[in-house]
């Protein structure tokens, strides 16, 4: 089976620009060309492209992917996975703190900390009233299901 660059991008659910970028940085091997000069991708190219897409979706950088061994059964190094998991855990913790702060604002516990100012130029209402109205439109709870394991 052989595909064009456009067909490869469509099959992998990515863009032509991404495929070309992966060629430019050496992540995806350049395929052979047909007699008309068009690239001719095979199954191995599609598998590699899908692997790149999967690893980037997990949070690996393109330079990290370039450093990984490549093969049909090769998975990322467990140390890389642990490092990524630690980074994701730190991000989740930071977002939980931010979410807690937003929740406090939504409950108006922090509304008194907002500075009093002149009325808004366009509405004639004080900026604090506009902020309170904006937070009032947000649902009172935002559920986050996070597995602690």
Neighbours of 55 (CB within 10 A): 20
- Quote the pLDDT of residue 56: 93
Query: What beta strand segments (E) does 50-134 contain?
Result: none
Going 59 to 63 to 65 to 69, the CA torsion angle's sign is: negative
CA-based nearest residue to 13, from 52, 43, 67: 52
Cut 0.85: pTM above it: no
* Per-residue confidence in pLDDT tens, the chain, 149 aa: 789 999 999 999 999 999 999 999 999 999 999 888 889 999 999 999 999 999 999 889 999 898 887 765 677 888 888 998 999 999 999 999 999 888 888 876 645 555 555 555 566 666 666 666 666 666 555 554 544 44
Joined together, the tokens standing for residue 108 give 């108006």
With contact defined as beta carbons under 8 Å apart, do 119 and 125 qualify? yes
With contact defined as beta carbons under 8 Å apart, do 27 and 65 qualify? yes
């Amino acid at each position: 089976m052989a595909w064009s660059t456009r067909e490869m991008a469509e099959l992998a659910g990515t863009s032509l620009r991404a495929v070309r970028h992966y060629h430019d940085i050496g992540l995806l091997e350049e395929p052979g060309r047909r007699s008309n000069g068009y690239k001719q991708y095979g199954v191995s190219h599609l598998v590699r492209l899908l692997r790149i897409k999967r690893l980037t979706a997990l949070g690996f950088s393109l330079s990290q992917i370039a450093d990984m061994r490549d093969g049909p059964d090769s998975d990322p190094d467990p140390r890389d996975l642990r490092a990524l998991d630690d980074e994701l855990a730190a991000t989740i913790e930071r977002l939980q703190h931010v979410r807690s702060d937003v929740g406090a604002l939504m409950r108006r516990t922090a509304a008194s900390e907002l500075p009093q100012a002149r009325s808004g130029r366009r509405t004639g209402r004080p900026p604090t009233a506009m902020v309170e109205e904006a937070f009032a439109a947000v649902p009172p709870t935002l559920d986050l299901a996070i597995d602690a394991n």
